[in-house]
Amino acid sequence: MQFRQRFSCLIFLATSASISLFGQTSDKIAPDLVFSESSPSPGAPPPPPPTANVIVQTNSSVPGANLGLIQAYTRTVTSRELQQLAQDPNVKYVSRDRSVGANLEYATPAVFGGSSLAAASSPWKGRGIGIAVIDSGVNPHEDLKDGNCGVSRIVYEENFVPGESTTRDLYGHGTHVAGILAGNGLCSDRGLPRTRRFTGVAPQANLINLRVLNAQGSALDSTVIRAIDRAVRLRNTYNIRVINLSLGRGIFESYKNDPLCQAVERAWAAGIVVVVAAGNRGRENTAGNNGYGTIGSPGNDPFVITVGAMRDMSTVGRSDDLMASYSSKGPTTIDRIVKPDLVAPGNAIIAPLAGASTTLARENAKDITTLSYYTRSVSVAWAALSRTDGNGYLKLSGTSMATPMVAGAAALLIEKAGIAGITPDTVKARLMKWAAKTLPASSTFLQNGVSRTIQNDMLTIGAGALDVVAALNNADTAPAGKRALSPQAVYTCQKPGRNCVAITHSPGSVFAGSSVWGNRPVWGGSVLWGDSVLWGDSVVWGDASQKGFSVLWGDSIARGVSVLWGDGGGLFPTSVLDGDR
């Protein structure tokens, strides 16, 4: 069944290449902060100066800062006021307050080592672990109740969408994500004879509903940052150990300056595992880049776990698994961080429906799962139940769906560690090391009638496909003081040639020079040749005569210029993707 997805993970912003402040540039000002001055009509009064909504990061705490998590505040500024901020020694960085956007009966067993029995019999269900769902809201679906179908496991709810107060999921995305995370598949049948159940990865976990995306599936950076801040503040109250971010946007500066990245790093430092969608731009080829260099923010941050999407092919076994054509690939623009970190099922996932009136359900009505698919009932009266708020299911595709697979797995590892505890870095390293390295070397798909090849290299599949059982059975820990930082890709040849891309690790990385956590144990021999990355695509090997080479390795990337994001203003077209068939 073809699925058209208006959002599924990301809204990208096309930006201008640099900022001009009265002819001067500043490293403290984001490259997309450009003012367009207009001349007044003859005889008309001069128009008011144009303004921009910005996030100002400071070098120290500022009284009244409304984004205290990252020592920042929001403000509306003119071009002259922006220049003044650039000259203020207490200002660290100024960025635009940017826009952010956004089947289980096979997928869950697939990540449990390809075994339905392993998924059902595992003693680890995420019990007592709080997972913050920062998304479009979570509706009270029956499958999000406890095992007795009486008490909701949504233990806290708050709205952050400006001008709104509801925590309801009007877009229809967050409820679906929550079901993949923690749906128990028990309570929505109303006694009907079930033939299938749609069970999430951590079916006893508690959910913290932090609504940031509006009914159109979009938000601002500052809105998401406030929600992350709330998750950190509520960590001890609700034992929030995982944040799921099935959203993101384009990259405009180094992760070291990006306010979204700074926020997720603060959450990580507070002991919360942050899991982020890679993005759905893997089919992007306008620059001959074959989907490389399309990871979004904050998935470009080396701390977080960034997740790509694969296809479980509607079987619980692994032997036929393939990559999803739309899954974004690394390296990240500007910093060239190796991403994604791993992949998980994200194609044609059946999970709870927020309601037939939500935006995604209306736009994808054909993908509302009929009652006859998972029960023996043929009653017309009962058939309406499949579209009812709180009972039905919807099929969606994207890295947004793969992300909660990994976030749920993180909750299980944390639950098993118990009172002994486990750090976010150990969770990340363990999930990566024990990810399955068995995906085929390549696969093909049709795009506009043209056959294209997906090379399952390090920048496509990361460390491999999520294997929850293998990670749960492992006891390796990250050494004290070491971080599970994703490595950086470095182009090493003066002239194009084979094996011209190497990976380098931060000195503080758990992956640097370790026999336990080194390159081959974590990423596998199929994607590495020594310390060089094995590529199957010439755009990544490097051919300076191709546009794709310039996109990934050219000097223009370092200045934040990329044909992927465009050099004009305004919103990049919303991701409208067909799930792979």
Classify the C-alpha dihedral 541-547-551-555 as positive or negative.
Answer: positive
DSSP-assigned letters across all residues of 3-55: -EES-TT---B---S---BTTB--TTB-TT------PPPTTSPPPPPPEEEEE
223 and 269 in contact (C-beta within 8 Å)?
A: no
β-bridge partners, 347: none
Q: Catalytic pick from 135, 221, 341, 425? A: 135
DSSP 98: -
Tell me the three state secondary structure of residue 549. Answer: helix
d(CA 559, CA 567): 12
Whether 400 is catalytic:
yes
Of 236, 137, 125, 138, nearest to 185 by C-alpha is 125
Which residues of 48-153 form beta strands (DSSP E)? Answer: 51-58, 72-78, 91-96, 99-101, 130-135
203: left (phi over 0), alpha (psi -120 to 50) or beta: alpha
Q: Catalytic pick from 16, 95, 327, 400? A: 400
Whether 122 is catalytic:
no
d(CA 547, CA 48): 41
- Give the pair of three-digit tokens for residue 469: 């059982």
User: Which letter, b or e, does each residue of 214-247 get, where b requires 16 or more Cβ atoms within 10 Å of its Cβ?
Assistant: bbbbbbbbbbbbbbbbbbbebbeebbbbbbbbbb
Q: Catalytic pick from 173, 229, 389, 526? A: 173
Q: Which residues are catalytic?
A: 135, 173, 400
